[in-house]
């Protein structure tokens, strides 16, 4: 098969067009496209392809602002193909310092000739020639919020929501860290190996590893590409999971031979971790509303060798009378706005709207109330999200406690180093711990 030469930018353009016109998830589409071209492009080209797509998407608001500054055509009237060519070209000029501007302009013009009409190439050429690497330093803003919005490429409504809970400097840091590539963490599967053995095996394969302070059996890895095809991954010696997500399993603290309910289980990272910590003894009922998502739980459990998990289709927003007071521990890792994982899922900041926050908190409230009814007296309920908003986190739990006096908080605030909350709960922010933004609360149901 003939290798593709010098058209990584064309592949990137096609992926960007697909994402922007079909509202697809960037990480899923990119992974699928890279797999499609796997045998046609080399490792170096894959890295550039990933950088072009993610970089352009990361700074979409910034790039569009720059385009609107120089274009005499309204943004809505620019062809989607030409708009993405401009975005990708400007991204390279401003953010990538190893590619000559002349090469970027020439390649962008060639793409415009292929994907636009006759005048398109001239339009692209005229705009890109005006852009300089220090372009962002020349911009003038009406206020600090506009500046943060445009320079970090976050919608203004989102900044206003964050500003209602955080000071302006914290908001700036949150947004800046959302644009930094997230570190990769893996969880050691102690059913098959231990952290020392896995470290040795990875290092023998020239893979850098680093232990995570305060969180057991988690390693940060820096140079392992194509993880899912790694031999040790396939054999189930580890799985990919952010450090904060592994902390959820530790907080649940399930014991061997207990009965556990994971009410929102898919894709199964926390479920399998709980099974691992139970030493594969007992029972875990893993629920999700969709069967195809439960298949992900089954696949992960099989690879890791966790055989105490039973999957069950279930709508967590509706009360399941068969579950009432049946479980020693219940995990409600609820759907959320995802504002703590934007750096992993950059689409979130563009696809979410302020109304979504109201909708999601209603869902969370229903799930939390239902989940609480499934806990045995003296049993444990753990609530977790991957968002950083109080309305989805602390406020949700405080409201629940006011209406459910038979539950009380277990203080877990000292479990996480540099915890953003001084008492009761756990909250992380990427710019403080360099983990995903996360919230965890642990409650106990009083006896009787």
Name the average pLDDT for the chain: 93
pLDDT at 29: 80
Dist CA 386 CA 263 (whole Å): 16
pLDDT digits (tens, 9 = 90+) for 63-77: 999 999 999 999 999
User: Which among 175, 336, 386, 420 is annotated as catalytic?
Assistant: 386
As a whole-number percent, the residues of the chain with pLDDT over 70 amount to 98
pTM for this structure? 0.93
Tell me the longest C-alpha to C-alpha distance in the chain: 78
pLDDT at 448: 66
User: What pairs with residue 441 in β-bridges?
Assistant: 383
pLDDT at 3: 38
- Is the fold of 8-138 the same as that of 184-240? no
Domain limits of the chain? 8-138, 144-178, 184-240, 245-445
Q: What average pLDDT does the segment 363-392 reach?
A: 98
User: Residue 99 pLDDT more than 70?
Assistant: yes
pLDDT at 4: 37
Higher pLDDT, 48 or 2: 48
CATH code for the domain defined by 245-445: 3.40.50.150
Note whether 49 and 80 are within 8 A (CB): no
pLDDT digits (tens, 9 = 90+) for 305-348: 999 999 999 999 999 999 999 999 999 999 999 999 999 998 89
pLDDT at 121: 94
Which contiguous run of DSSP H or E holds residue 350? helix 348-351
User: What pairs with residue 3 in β-bridges?
Assistant: none
User: Residue 6 pLDDT more than 60?
Assistant: no
Q: What average pLDDT does the segment 389-403 reach?
A: 97
- pLDDT category of residue 407 using cuts at 50, 70 and 90: very high
pLDDT at 265: 97
CATH superfamily placement of domain 184-240: Sun protein; domain 3 (3.30.70.1170)
Q: Cα 364–284–233 angle (5° rounding)?
A: 95
User: Residue 296 pLDDT more than 70?
Assistant: yes
pLDDT at 1: 29
pLDDT digits (tens, 9 = 90+) for 212-236: 988 999 999 987 777 878 899 999 9
Higher pLDDT, 26 or 12: 12
Active-site residue 264, yes or no? no
User: Residue 23 pLDDT more than 70?
Assistant: no
As a whole-number percent, the residues of the chain with pLDDT over 90 amount to 83
The alpha helices in 139-223, defined as continuous H runs, are 144-152, 156-163, 168-178, 195-204
Mean pLDDT lowest among 47-56, 148-157, 258-267, 371-380: 47-56
Q: What is the DSSP letter of 391?
A: G
- pLDDT category of residue 31 using cuts at 50, 70 and 90: confident
Q: How many CB atoms lie within 10 A of CB 146?
A: 15
Dist CA 80 CA 282 (whole Å): 54
Structure tokens at 74: 């309204």
Higher pLDDT, 128 or 3: 128
Dist CA 119 CA 112 (whole Å): 9
User: Residue 370 pLDDT more than 70?
Assistant: yes
pLDDT digits (tens, 9 = 90+) for 150-200: 999 999 999 999 999 999 999 999 999 999 999 999 999 999 999 999 999
Query: Looking at the domain 8-138, which fold is it?
Result: N-utilizing Substance Protein B Homolog; Chain A (1.10.940)
User: Residue 135 pLDDT more than 60?
Assistant: yes
User: Residue 20 pLDDT more than 90?
Assistant: no
């Amino acid at each position: 098969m003939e290798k593709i030469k010098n058209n990584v930018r064309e592949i990137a353009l096609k992926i960007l067009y697909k994402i922007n016109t079909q509202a697809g998830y960037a990480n899923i589409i990119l992974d699928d496209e890279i797999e499609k071209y796997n045998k046609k492009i080399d490792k170096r080209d894959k890295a550039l392809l990933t950088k072009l797509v993610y970089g352009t998407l990361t700074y979409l608001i910034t790039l569009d602002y720059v385009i609107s500054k120089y274009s005499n055509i309204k943004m809505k009237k620019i062809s989607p193909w030409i708009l993405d060519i401009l975005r990708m070209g400007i991204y390279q000029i401003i953010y990538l310092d190893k590619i000559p501007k002349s090469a970027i302009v020439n390649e962008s013009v060639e793409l415009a000739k292929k994907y636009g009409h006759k005048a398109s190439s001239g339009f692209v050429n005229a705009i890109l020639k005006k852009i300089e690497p220090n372009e962002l330093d020349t911009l003038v803003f009406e206020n600090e919020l506009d500046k943060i919005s445009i320079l970090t490429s976050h919608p203004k409504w989102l900044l206003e929501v964050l500003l209602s809970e955080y000071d302006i400097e914290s908001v700036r840091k949150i947004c800046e860290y959302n644009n930094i590539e997230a570190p990769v963490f893996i969880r050691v599967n102690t059913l098959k190996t231990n952290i020392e053995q896995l470290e040795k095996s990875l290092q023998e394969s020239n893979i850098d590893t680093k232990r995570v302070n305060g969180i057991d059996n988690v390693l940060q890895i820096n140079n392992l590409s194509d993880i899912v095809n790694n031999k040790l991954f396939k054999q189930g010696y580890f799985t990919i999971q952010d450090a904060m997500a592994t902390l959820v399993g530790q907080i649940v603290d399930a014991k061997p031979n207990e009965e556990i309910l994971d009410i929102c289980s898919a894709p199964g990272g926390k479920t399998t971790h709980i099974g691992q910590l139970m030493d594969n003894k007992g029972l875990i009922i893993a629920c999700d509303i969709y069967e195809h998502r439960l298949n992900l739980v089954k696949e992960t459990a099989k690879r890791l060798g966790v055989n105490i998990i039973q999957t069950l289709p279930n709508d967590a927003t509706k009360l399941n009378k068969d579950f009432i007071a049946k479980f020693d521990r219940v995990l409600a890792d609820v759907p959320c706005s995802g504002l703590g994982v934007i750096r992993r899922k950059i689409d979130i900041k563009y696809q979410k709207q302020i109304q979504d926050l109201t909708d999601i908190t209603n869902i969370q409230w229903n799930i939390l109330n239902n989940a609480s009814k499934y806990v045995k007296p003296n049993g444990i309920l753990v609530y977790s999200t991957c968002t950083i908003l109080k309305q989805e986190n602390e406020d949700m739990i405080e409201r629940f406690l006011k209406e459910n006096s038979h539950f009380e908080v277990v203080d877990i605030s000292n479990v996480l180093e540099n915890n953003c909350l001084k008492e009761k709960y756990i909250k992380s922010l990427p710019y403080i711990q360099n983990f995903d933004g996360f919230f965890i609360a642990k409650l106990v149901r009083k006896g009787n």
